[in-house]
A = this chain, B = another copy of it.
Amino acid sequence: MKHVVIVGGGFAGLHAAKKLGNKKGVRVTLLDRTNHHLFQPLLYQVAMAALSPADIAGPIRHILAGYRNITVLQDEVFEVHLAAQHIITPRSRLDYDYLILCCGSQHAYFGHEEWEEFAPGLKTIEQATEIRRRVLTAYEAAEREEDPQKQRSHLTFAIVGGGPTGVELAGAIGEMSRFTLDRDFRNIDPKLTRIILIEAGPRILPSFPAKLAGKATRDLEKLGVQVWANSPVTKIDGTGVQIDKERIECATVLWAAGVRPSALNAALGVALDRQGRVIVEPDLSVAGHPEVFVAGDQAHFDHGLAHPLPGIAPVALQQGHWIAQNILRSIRGAAPRPFQYLDKGQLATIGRSRAILQLGNLQLSGFLAWVAWLIIHIYYLIGFKNRLFVTLNWAWSFFSFRRGARLIINKEWRFYKSPQRDP
Taking Cβ atoms with an 8 Å cutoff, the residues of A that contact B are 33-36, 52-55, 57-59, 61-62, 65-66, 71-75, 90-92, 106-107, 109, 113, 116-117, 120-121, 123-127, 129-130, 136-137, 140, 143-144, 183-187, 385, 388-389, 392-393, 396, 400, 402, 404-416, 419, 421-422
Contacts and interface: CB of A to CB of B under 8 A. Distances in A.
A62 B406 contact: yes
Contact of A62 (B75, B106, B184): B184
Given A54-B404, A61-B184, A140-B35, A125 B392 contact: no
Contact of A52 (B52, B72, B120, B422): B52
B126 A408 contact: no
B389 A385 contact: no
A186 B91 CA distance: 17
A34 B408 contact: yes
18 contacts: A34-B408, A35-B406, A36-B406, A36-B408, A52-B55, A54-B404, A57-B407, A59-B184, A61-B184, A71-B187, A74-B143, A74-B408, A75-B144, A90-B421, A126-B410, A127-B413, A385-B402, A389-B404
A268 B161 CA distance: 52
B415 A116 contact: yes
A415 B106 contact: yes
Given A52-B54, A92-B144, A121-B415, 12 more contacts: A35-B408, A59-B136, A59-B184, A59-B406, A59-B407, A65-B183, A72-B186, A73-B144, A74-B144, A91-B144, A126-B410, A126-B413
A47 to B, nearest CB: 11
A52 B71 CA distance: 27
Given A35-B408, A59-B406, A413 B74 contact: no
A405 B129 contact: no
Given A59-B406, A73-B143, A407-B59, A126 B412 contact: yes
A415 B186 contact: no
A342 to B, nearest CB: 31
Contacts of A35: 136, 140, 406-408
Residue of A120, A130, A415, A422 most packed against chain B (CB within 10 A): A415
A52 to B, nearest CB: 4
A385 B120 CA distance: 30
Residue of A117, A126, A396, A408 most packed against chain B (CB within 10 A): A126
A92 B147 CA distance: 13
Given A36-B407, A55-B52, A405-B54, A124 B385 contact: no
Nearest to A127: B413
- The 8 A-B residue pairs whose C-beta atoms are closest, nearest first, are A54-B405, A52-B52, A126-B413, A74-B140, A130-B413, A35-B408, A113-B416, A59-B406
Residue of A54, A59, A109 most packed against chain B (CB within 10 A): A54
B407 A125 contact: yes
A54 B45 CA distance: 13
Nearest to A385: B396
A53 B409 contact: yes
A193 to B, nearest CB: 16
B144 A409 contact: no
Contacts of A129: 409, 413
A399 to B, nearest CB: 11
Contact of A54 (B121, B183, B407): B407
A61 B58 CA distance: 31
